[in-house]
Structure 1
Amino acid sequence: MEMFASKKRKMTISGLLFIGMVLSFFDRVALNVAIIPMGDEFNLTSSQTGLAISIFFISYSLMQPLGGWMTDKFGARVMITVSLLSWSLFTLATGFVWSFVTLLLFRFVFGIGEGPFYPASMSTIRDNFPENERGRANSFFLSAQNIGGILGTALAASMVVAFGWRGMFIIAGIVGILVSIGFWFILKPKESGETTITTQKRKKVPLKLLLKIENIWKLVSFKFLSNIINYGLISWMPIYLVKEKGVDIVAAGGLMAIPYVVGFFMFNVSGWVLDKYMVGREKYLAAAGAILSAIFLYLMSNATSVGMFITFLTLNSVALSFFGTVLYTIVIKYAPQELTGSASGLVTFAGQIAGAVSPVAIGFIITLFNGSYNAAFWFLVFAALAGVFVALSIKNHSKKPIKEVDNKTAVI
């Protein structure tokens, strides 16, 4: 019989993963604020700004399948620690860039370093939490993105004003390096009689079965579309507020923190709803979130005041929290445990490809339409509507989620 970590151990692991995700999101989101003074210093065009934001996602996405495979091979503890340490070093290095080219280089290697963290975290949740707790554990972990977003906008903006954008990256990198050292020691398995999935010998499953998982391509497609929206908003909204609405950089950072605060709570609410009421029907929550997102994106594009815009952006954050939680909950509930890291890595890979595409596409659209953001909003609306149809096509599951893996197919 499978045994899982003790309650105290699970709380410790949840806390550590939460901190790691906060740092991860801070380090990637902070650039969206810092790029405003960086753009002035390096004379960046809208297209160059989009590329500077997207270059991280190119390397990060490429590392997702590899990071998932490395997690399954070397273990989550090793990959989480190595990932956090390496991306923190490259965050620190970003404070020393001297041109647009070096900015692209350091952001590219930063993405490589962060790549394994997500699939390793998914495997850690799968290993230590029983199936009926994974929705909540996963949503709590994902909600850390919102705290990282708060810090990466409001705090980063204040740090840029106080220490300059270079000082902000250097400080963030040093903090991450120190935390990574703590991770290695705290995540060390307990030397006791407690038996968890991580201490059991896992049944080896051919990696080719990953591509035969029944819903995997639908999950991949939905993740791509959802991140087109998510990273399109994250990357361009601070710039939009400063340049189109006349808000100063600190105020913009504070306003952008509001949706993250609400999203933090809604991520955890959606996880509770998934575990209690949506077992086997997770796709309907995802579809509802996509429909609401399309509505609020349209309203954002027509907002006549900053207050209305932030209100609709906040409501959109609520919608994003619904379908953001569903994807990985499906993976960690229904994927074969031997392929959890690889499956989550492949899904995340699709999401980060979208992270690379969306900022560049929006920058190109803005340039193409002579600085107008209306077409960019419609680009995001269409992505949300497409997500509705993909979500509804996902096959439902019974309450008994995991089927035996054989040499024919694996089922999510």
Structure 2
Amino acid sequence: MEMYASKKRKIIISGLLFVGMVLSFFDRVAINVAVIPIGDEFHLNTSQTGLLISIFFISYSLMQPLGGWMTDKYGARVMITLSLFGWSLFTLMTGFAWSFVSLLFIRFIFGLGEGPFYPASMSTIRDNFPQEERGRANSFFLSAQNIGGILGTALAAAMIAAFGWRGMFSVAGILGMIVAIGFWFILKPKKVQKTNVIQARKKVPLKQLLKIDNIWKLISFKFLFNIINYGLITWMPIYLVKEKGVDLVHAGSLLAIPYILGFFMFNVSGLVLDKLMVGREKYLAAAGALLCAIFLYFMANATSVAQFITYLTLNSIALSFFGTVLYTIIIKYSPKELTGSVSGVVTFAGQIAGAVSPTAIGLIISLFKGSYNAAFWFLVISALLAMVIVISIKNNASQSSKEVENETAAI
């Protein structure tokens, strides 16, 4: 019989992971607001702007499989602490960049530092929460992205107006390093729990990873989800300022609205997954993908800022159902010994999309002479493809995972 954390410890762990994800998302989203004054200071064109945003995702994606493997080998506590401290250090250094090239280098290293955090967090949830609670634990953790998004747009814009973009990054970096130190002490596991986890990790070799049922569909699903998610995150501040004539601070405030609704809906989706959709998780994701495509179309044809923000908010709600399912399937049904590695490989695909999407959208806008309509159609098609893929996922994921465990136990 597996031993999980006490109720008090589960609350503490959930809270810590939530704070870590808020900081993670703030640090990566703030660049989308800061890139406007950065672009003015360093005289960046559209392609350079897209590259500056994408460079983080390139290094972040490269670190995902390694970060997942390191989590399974060295433990989630070690990797979460090192990751948070590392990316916060380079967030601080962002404020000292002196050129476009130096910014690219710093953002690249920043992505390497943040890479292990996601798979280590998934492993922490798997280790401390029973299966029937993992959907809610996962959705609460993921909902922190929305709080980070609120702070990374509205608060970051206000901080840039008050202290400049350099001061904003410096403050965020110092705060993150302080929180990382707290993680190390608070996440210290009980000896019996640590021993059990170490013993379990020795049972399943990593070469079995790609034999897990549905792994390639999950990878494709995550890739398309992030094409949409990061396409919107990275270009909407610029779209509102450049195309709709909204000033920077007001743009940050308006873009906080979808994050607020998304935060609540992420947690609602987790409750729905645990209580109503057990074994049928894919249908919730498919519905979210379809709604996402519809609202993206309406966004492209919005005739006012109010309409645009309304459809963007509804799209954020759809994305919350679209996105929560993926990691819930992983932490519910993948072999426990490979949770970090599975999360790492799937997230790797997602962050490749994070690198592709901003650059692709920038190129599409350039090719269509500054028009955003083709970029929105690019996102609509991605949502429809994701719907088709997620519908094809088999419902026997749990059985497949057990089969993998039995096969590896015999090796």
Cα pair 1:3 1:197 within 8 Å, conserved: no
TM-score normalised by length of structure 2: 0.97
Matches of 2:380 and 2:278 in 1, distance apart? 28
The residue type paired with residue 162 of structure 1 is: A
8 Å contact from structure 1 (residues 4, 196) kept in 2: no
Compute the displacement of 1:198 (Å).
3.3
Whole-Å separation in 2 of the counterparts to 1:350 and 1:300:
26
Matches for 1:1-400 after TM superposition, within 5 Å = 1-190=1-190, 198=197, 201-397=200-396
Contact 2:122 2:339 (8 Å CA) reproduced: yes
Say if 2:72 and 2:201, in contact at 8 Å, map to a contact too.
Answer: no
In the aligned structure 1, how far is the partner of 2:63 from the partner of 2:399? Answer: 32
- TM (norm. structure 1) is 0.97
1:155-211 deviations in Å (ceiling 9; x for gaps): 0000000000000000000000100000000111136x7789536544421211101
**Structure 1 residue 323, shift from structure 2 partner:** 1.5
Question: 1:350 & 1:393 partners in 2: Cα distance?
Answer: 19
Deviations 1:239-264 (A, max 9, x none): 00000000000000000000000000
- C-alpha contact (below 8 Å) 1:69/1:341 kept by paired residues: yes
Q: Which of the two has greater helix per residue?
A: 2
Q: How far apart, in 2, do the equivalents of 1:195 and 1:62 lie?
A: 28
**Is the contact between residue 333 and residue 402 of structure 1 (CA under 8 Å) also seen in structure 2?**
no
Distance 1:335 1:180 in 2: 28
3-state SS in 2 of match to 1:405: helix
- Distance in structure 1 (CA, Å) of the matches to 2:267 and 2:199: 30
Amino acid at match of 1:152: G
Contact 1:127/1:196 (8 A) holds in 2 = no
Structure 1, gaps ≥5 residues long: none
Given that residues 155 and 253 in structure 1 are in contact (C-alpha distance below 8 angstroms), is that contact kept between their aligned partners in structure 2?
yes
Checking the alignment, whether the CA contact within 8 Å between 2:90 and 2:173 is kept in structure 1 is yes
Quickly say closer, same or farther: Cα 1:399–1:64, change in 2 above 3 A: closer
Structure 1 residues 238 and 18 mapped into 2: Cα distance closer, same or farther (>3 Å)? same
Distance in 2 between residues matched to 1:333 and 1:401, nearest whole Å:
12
Distance change in 2, residues 1:353/1:195 (3 Å): closer
CA distance in 1, matches of 2:198, 2:376: 48
**Closer, same or farther in 2 for the Cα pair 1:30/1:213, shift >3 Å?**
same
* Aligned counterparts of 1:208 and 1:195: Cα–Cα separation in 2: 24
Corresponding letter in the other structure for 1:238: P
C-alpha offsets along residues 269-288 of structure 1, whole Å, 9 cap, x if unaligned? 00000000111111101110
Q: Indicate if the aligned counterparts of 1:213 and 1:409 stay in contact, CA closer than 8 A.
A: no
Query: Contact 1:4–1:197 (CA<8 Å) still a contact in 2?
Result: no
**Taking structure 1 as reference, are residues 406 and 175 closer, same or farther at Cα in structure 2, changes over 3 Å only?**
closer
1:353-380, CA deviations, whole angstroms, 9 ceiling, x for partnerless residues? 0000000000001111111111100000
Cα 1:311–1:76 change in 2 (3 A) is: same
Note the C-alpha offset of 1:231: 0.1
Q: What is the alpha-carbon distance in structure 2 between the residues aligned to residue 395 and residue 336 of structure 1?
A: 16
Q: Structure 1's 126 and 227: CA in aligned 2 closer, same or farther, altered over 3 A?
A: same
Relative distance call for 1:195 and 1:58 in structure 2 (3 A) is: closer
By how many angstroms is 1:214 displaced?
Answer: 1.1
Moved more, 396-405 or 106-115: 396-405
Aligned partners of 1:119 and 1:344 also within 8 Å: yes
In the alignment, is the contact (CA less than 8 A) between 1:5 and 1:196 conserved in 2?
no
Q: Is the CA contact (8 Å cut-off) linking 2:213 and 2:401 kept in structure 1?
A: no
1:109 maps to a residue whose letter is I
For 1:77, the aligned partner's letter is R
Paired residue total: 409
1:297-330 CA-partner distances (Å, limit 9, x unpaired)? 0000000000000000000000100021000000
Aligned-pair Cα RMSD in Å: 1.6
Report if aligned partners of 1:279, 1:398 keep a CA contact under 8 Å in 2: no
> Distance in 1 between the 2:304 and 2:327 partners?
36
Residues 96/386 of structure 1: CA separation in 2 closer, same or farther (3 Å cut): same
- Alignment-mate amino acid for residue 116 of structure 2: P
1:397 offset after TM fit, Å? Answer: 2.9
- Following the alignment from structure 1 to structure 2, what is the Cα–Cα distance between the partners of residues 54 and 201? 37
After superposition, give the CA deviation of every residue in 1:364-402 in whole Å (9 maximum; x if it has no partner).
Answer: 011111111111000000100101110111001388785
1-side partners of 2:155 and 2:146: how far apart?
A: 13
C-alpha change, 1:329 and 1:177, in structure 2 (3 Å) is same
How far is 1:405 from its partner? 3.2
